[in-house]
Amino acid sequence: MTKEGQVLIEKPKESKAKNVGEKTETVEVFIMGKSYKVPAGLTIMKALEYAGYRYIRGCGCRAGFCGACSTIYRKEDEQKLGFDLACQKVVEDNMYLVQLPFVPASKAEYDIDKIVPKDSTIMGIYPEIARCVSCNTCTKSCPQDIEVMKYIQRAVRGDISKCAEISFDCIQCGLCAMRCPADIKHYHVSQLARRLRGKYLDTKSKNLASRLKEIENRKYDSEIEKLIKMDKNEIMDLYKNRKIEAEEEGEGGD
């Protein structure tokens, strides 16, 4: 299964799970129905790799940002399904794991430069949001704990800023859209809201304005040129030794 957009994981030739020492605390997980004992405390992604599987697709940043590693699980004898990111969620005993391929949801075409943001803008581009039946399934599916139903309802009401604000942490994993009975494409809706907000409604960010000015003045061109010429090890060293900026007060936050 190596087609673009599909996961998954390659079958193990030999599982490392059997090498677990007696003293190691382990949990039992099920991958494609097969039982594996893996060390407690591993993320689902690391547990899969520990069991000998290799990610071919469905794995990107390994840090909770790219949304590529959607996972569904159910614990034995529990009715409730769990939804999470394989790179973030820690394994629990008796978890039955299913890695999901990305299921693309159609995205409306629009020219952000030609849109005039008003109450009806999002509804005009994504009219299906009017079909929301307030079941809250989207919110329960979100690994980022975002109030997904709430931001859709803000979009229905034409509150672009609030829709953008509530959805700020969306990583576009698509789990909400997979389960919605009204076939709403939540992450495309909220991306539109954030774009509209950034371009038209909340243009007072001092940091953003000064960064844009720097880019216009080509301040970073020479650094980018240098980066392009570096090899992988040099880039890794640069990353490891990077200066981490202190959070500036009064900026961002929403």
Beta-bridge partners for 83: 72
Q: Nearer to ligand SF4 by C-beta: 26 or 70?
A: 70
Q: Which does 192 bind (CB under 5 to 8 A by kind): ligand FES, ligand SF4, none?
A: none
Given a contact cutoff of 8 angstroms between Cβ atoms, the answer to whether 125 and 110 are in contact is yes
Options 136, 203, 205, 210; binder of ligand SF4; rule CB under 6 A: 136
Given a contact cutoff of 8 angstroms between Cβ atoms, the answer to whether 93 and 26 are in contact is no
Q: What is the x/- site pattern for ligand FES, positions 83-112, by CB under 6 A?
A: --xxx-------------------------
Options 69, 146, 164, 166; binder of ligand FES; rule CB under 6 A: 69
Angstrom distance (rounded) from CA 81 to CA 208: 40
Region binding ligand SF4 by CB under 6 A among candidate stretches 37-45, 115-123, 144-152, 202-210: 144-152
Given a contact cutoff of 8 angstroms between Cβ atoms, the answer to whether 52 and 12 are in contact is yes
List the one residue out of 173, 171, 199, 192 whose CA is nearest residue 127. Answer: 192
Sheet containing 34-39, strands listed edge to edge, beginning at the edge strand earlier in sequence: 34-39, 26-31, 95-99, 70-75, 82-85
Q: Which does 170 bind (CB under 5 to 8 A by kind): ligand SF4, ligand FES, none?
A: ligand SF4
- What the block records as the tokens of 77 is 């004898």
Given a contact cutoff of 8 angstroms between Cβ atoms, the answer to whether 167 and 122 are in contact is no
Residues 47-86 that bind ligand SF4 (CB under 6 A): 67
Residues 185-224 that bind ligand SF4 (CB under 6 A): 186-187
Which positions touch ligand SF4 (CB under 6 A)?
67, 132-138, 141-142, 144, 146, 148-149, 152, 170-176, 180-182, 184, 186-187
